[in-house]
Amino acid sequence: MIRPLTLAIAALTLSGTAHATPRRIVSLNVCADQYLVALADPAQIAALSSNARDPELSAAADKARAYRVLRRASEEVLAIRPDLILGYPIGPNMVAGAPPGQWTTLGLASADSYGAILDQIRQVARAVGHPDRGERLIAQMHRDLAALPKAKRSGVAAYYQRRGYMTGTGTLVDDLIRRMGLTNLAAKLGKPALAQVPLEAMVAARPDWLIVESGSEAVVDQGTEMLQHPAIKSIPRISLPQSWTVCGGPAYVLAARAITTRLNAPK
């Protein structure tokens, strides 16, 4: 899970004057990739992050196939000379991987709530020169969430990952769990954003639901094997692609729909 960071913005370019509508935009992480492909013109996108086409990590993997993907980020960004870089913030007016003070930068990391996602959509939409698209995307997300049927079941849910890691409070997953009318087991146990919970403790807590990453359902190592242990095998499961929750973005709606569908499925 990517640790949520605070958004940071700088308007610094090589010439000292920012373009109103950037023409060469580079994204340095999968959190920024999905916003960029949703909000920018294709011709504006100079390159996406190295993980942009990885379906395990990127919610925009399919769309990313149409764009250049960075392989050697530092060298390629220097060659591209972008007029906007999206990436991880490392401090005021700075983005990880971008030479300080040379280009317009928008620091962007994983959102920890639906509200934070909306803020990021608006900031990216303004940065790429299409604020109207941001508002349309937000309106569509509102409509899609409002159209979800009321969940027929509720209960305590644990987002349980390989090697026994559980996602806690103050995270996007926690926001999603609570929005769907579930109680996060991590909150009941007083766990932080990410904590390792032994199998024995999970058995003792006995949640009503286990939310698992779809990629961890196949046993490939000891970390995934514990998720198939007979002691927790009978707990009902909600399976979500990791790419829908590793970053905030439009995929929040897909995750919410999948959870609702599972909660309303026949027992």
> What is the pLDDT averaged over residues 22-39?
94
> What is the pLDDT averaged over residues 93-111?
78
Q: Which two tokens stand for residue 101?
A: 């003070």
What pLDDT is stored for residue 219 in this prediction? Answer: 61
- Indicate whether 1 pLDDT > 50: no
Relative to beta strand 25-27, strand 84-87 is: parallel
- Indicate whether 225 pLDDT > 80: no
Q: Does the structural domain 8-144 have CATH classification 3.40.1360.10? A: no
pLDDT band at residue 121 using 50, 70 and 90 as cut-offs:
very high
- Indicate whether 258 pLDDT > 80: yes
What pLDDT is stored for residue 163 in this prediction? Answer: 81
What global pTM score does this model have? Answer: 0.86
Q: Which two tokens stand for residue 159?
A: 């987002």
Domain ranges of the chain: 8-144, 155-263
What pLDDT is stored for residue 40 in this prediction? Answer: 97
| Domains 8-144 and 155-263 in one fold | yes
pLDDT tens for each residue of 122-156: 999 999 999 999 999 999 999 999 999 999 999 99
What pLDDT is stored for residue 87 in this prediction? Answer: 87
pLDDT tens for each residue of 159-203: 998 788 899 889 999 999 999 999 999 999 998 888 888 889 999
CB-based burial, 204-233: b 16+ in 10 Å, e otherwise: eeebebbbbbebbeeeeeeebebbeeeebe
Classify domain 155-263 at the CATH superfamily level.
Answer: Nitrogenase molybdenum iron protein domain (3.40.50.1980)
- Indicate whether 242 pLDDT > 60: yes
